[in-house]
Each structure stands twice: as C-alpha cells, then as structure tokens.
Amino acid sequence: MTKDLPITLTIAGSDSGGGAGVQADLKTFSSLASFGTTVFTCLTAQNPDGVSGIFEISPDFVSAQLKAVAGYFPIKAAKTGMLYSAEIIKTVAEFFYENPDIQLVLDPVMVATSGAKLLKDDAILSLTNDLIPLAKLITPNLDEASLLLGEKIHQYDQLVPMAEKLFQKYNVPILLKGGHLPNATEATDVLFDGKSSYLFSKPFLKGKNTHGTGCTYSAAITSFLAHGKNLPEAVGSAKEYLHLTLEDEIKTGPINHLNHFPEPTN
C-alpha cells in the first residue's frame, strides 16, 4: 500500500554530531510522517561540546538546491535554520517570494547552545528585512528575541507583551520560547498570531541535554503544518512531541540526546 506523505523542506546547516541542524530536522520529519527534503547552507565541524569549523555553501549552489527540490516536489511547508550570511538569506528570500504557497517556519538561528556564532553580524539586517516578512511563523528563543527587539527578556511576565511587541515590529506570528527563563519550573512558550495569545507549557525537565531542541521544535511545527493543522494546533502538537523527545532521551556516548522516535506515554 502506497502512503501519501506531505513534503517538507529544511534549509539549514549540517551538524556533524547529528543532534541539530538538517540531521535533527530529517529525523523529526520522518518521525512525524512527512517526507523531508533538504537544502544545505553550511557544513559544520561540531559535536555537543562546540563548533570547530564552518564551511559556507555558495549562494549559487543554495539556489541550485532550491530549484532542484522545488522543481520536482510539491512542498507543503518548509523551515529555515542556520542561514549564516546575508547573501544566503537573500537567495532564500527570493525563493519564498517566488513560492508564496509554501508555509515557512523561520527559526532565527543566531548562536549555538555552545556559544558559537551561527549568523554573521551583517546578516541580521537581511534576515529582518528580506526573509522574516515572508514567514508564517518565527520561533525565537529568549536570546534571539532580545536581539530582534533590542530589549532583554528575563522574567515570565514579559513573555506575552514581548511576543506582542515582536509581532508589532515584524507583522508575523511569533512563537516566543521561554525555556531559558532562570529558575523556571515550567517551560512555557507564547504564540501570538496578531489577534490571540496561546500559552503552551510543560514541566521543566532538569539535567537534560537541550542540543537540537530548537531545530526539532521548528521541524515538528513544519511537519504538522504540512499535515494540515492550523498554527495553534501545529505548535501545540509540536510542543508535545518535543517534550516526549526530551523525556525519552537516548544514550549516545558521553551524554544523552533527544529521541526523535519516542514512545507515546498513553
């Protein structure tokens, strides 16, 4: 029996350690029954301890990958991760300008968990001016939201007003991820779509390796959008999935990693 899987696309960097980037996106797409396609923007030499090297793919080759994939597959939804340079961002923005029916989840990857910079300084302006206006959703963590807003976010009661401020600035739905709040007992994220705020909370899981959580979350949202869920439904389902991947972690050597094929709890 032939299965009809929706087509998803990740435009991101490679993580040679397998925990984040395109590798995490593909695992998530497969786990959530979408067929993942890829466009690589960078190759990284990295493991969970850090990034030791970045090789940037030329914008022309990024464009060639986009044309090859979109010219063959009926892509339902896409996500971006590490885009690295202004030139790559402009190339990707041109693609989505020409393909407005593809739902875009933009994960504004700027700095790795290890502290390595994953976005050049001169690329931030291109990200905000060229690509963000074409997105269906932006998924910043607290540090990324602070950079996009020019304002620090450091307490729970800032989440809703800051999500609203981000929407007012960029006119795109915002999923503000509050998992990095200090001393939090709940990992709470706020979705603001321009009309309503939605809160998604799960108990904060201490002592977990969070490498790749942002990639996995945005890839899960992308998959659920490709399956036809609306934005709040897609975010809620993705939050559940991410929590399961953290709860049901797997041993991969010195540390544990997210389990992209978790066992359901019920």
Would you name the residues annotated as active-site residues?
177, 210, 212-215
Closest CA to 131 of 77, 82, 68, 80: 80
Q: What angle do CA 252, 19, 155 make, to 5 degrees?
A: 110
Report which residue type is found at 32: L
Instruction: Return all residues near 153 (Cβ < 8 A) that are at least 6 apart.
Output: 142, 145, 146, 159, 162, 176
6 neighbors 77 (Cβ within 8 angstroms): yes
The answer for residues whose C-beta is within 8 angstroms of residue 226's C-beta and 6 or more apart is 6, 7, 8, 34, 76, 77, 103
Going by their DSSP bridges, the two strands 256-257 and 137-138 should be labelled as unpaired
Candidates 146, 145, 199, 133; CA nearest to 172 is: 133
CA–CA gap between residue 259 and residue 266 (Å, rounded): 17
Output the CA torsion sign for 244, 245, 246, 250.
positive
Rounded distance, CA 13 to CA 145, Å?
21
Nearest in space to 242 (alpha carbons), one of 206, 215, 217: 217
